[in-house]
Amino acid sequence: MRRKLAAGNWKMNGTAAALSELVELAGHLDPNDAETLICPPAPLLYRACEKTRGTSIAIGAQDCHMQTEGAFTGDVSASMIADTGASYVIVGHSERRDAHEETNGDIRKKARAAWAAGLTAIVCIGESGDDREADNTLDIIAGQLSGSVPDGATGDNTVIAYEPIWAIGTGKIPTLAQIIEVHDFIRARLIARFGDVEGNAIRLLYGGSVKPDNAAEIFTAENVDGALVGGASLKASDFAPIIKALSAS
């Protein structure tokens, strides 16, 4: 059984004062709920780990460098992230692919760096609105999967997050049929590449305008194992209902 995962990506939001939301969120959770992960900005990682010590909330980073150390001003290595107490790192988010021109090869190297540091890599993939309109979605997803996910991916070291770029922060959302089509396609590709055991063990998250009022429907899909949530993860009052909906699915 794949344990459900509700992951919150705070993006470039929050200062130390926002960490009180973690305490409030922990108060909403119980041991039977889905695994809960918050990925705050890098300066908050250590304090977030301290705030959540003894709770069921895991902490992750939003990116890492592909190298372990060196002259990379402003970058953070996977080992530095692990040193804060964090256990996950997002790699390949569309905002990184776009604004920082990260390639599939870059993301593959970052995922390997995450593994080497003992972190679980959440590898993000997703098509643009133009790709969707041109009916190229599955081709784009196939290319990103093969190019961004390293050999050796397992259910322990890798999570895949499907985030259609046109749905991120826009309020738009694919139909349930479209989400099922892509997630079933990803599952089939993972099984074909990594075998039945590991291909079925890797968790698949959906991300893109997930809100408390649409979460329950999304989580009915067999191969949706959770969500990567942006804005709705910033407040415990918004994120807790999504976690509860996932836990009940």
Residue 221 CA to residue 214 CA, distance in Å, equals: 13
Torsion of CA 105, 190, 161, 129, to 10 degrees: 80
Q: How far apart are the first and last CA of the chain?
A: 13
Contact 149, 158 (CB under 8 A): yes
Q: How far is CA 18 from CA 21, 22, 38, 39, in A?
A: 6, 8, 12, 12
214 Cβ contact partners less than 8 Å away, ≥ 6 residues apart = 173
**Given 21, 35, 65, 93, which residue is catalytic?**
93
**Given 95, 163, 183, 198, which residue is catalytic?**
163
Token pair recorded at residue 146: 């093969």
Residue 72 CA to residue 80 CA, distance in Å, equals: 13
Of 130, 140, 136, nearest to 166 by C-alpha is 130
**What number of CA atoms fall less than 13 Å from residue 46's CA on the CB side?**
4
Helix spans in the chain (H): 20-28, 45-51, 78-83, 94-99, 104-116, 129-133, 137-148, 176-201, 215-218, 236-248
Q: Catalytic residue at 163?
A: yes
Residue 46 CA to residue 201 CA, distance in Å, equals: 29
Q: Catalytic residue at 93?
A: yes
The residues that are catalytic are 93, 163
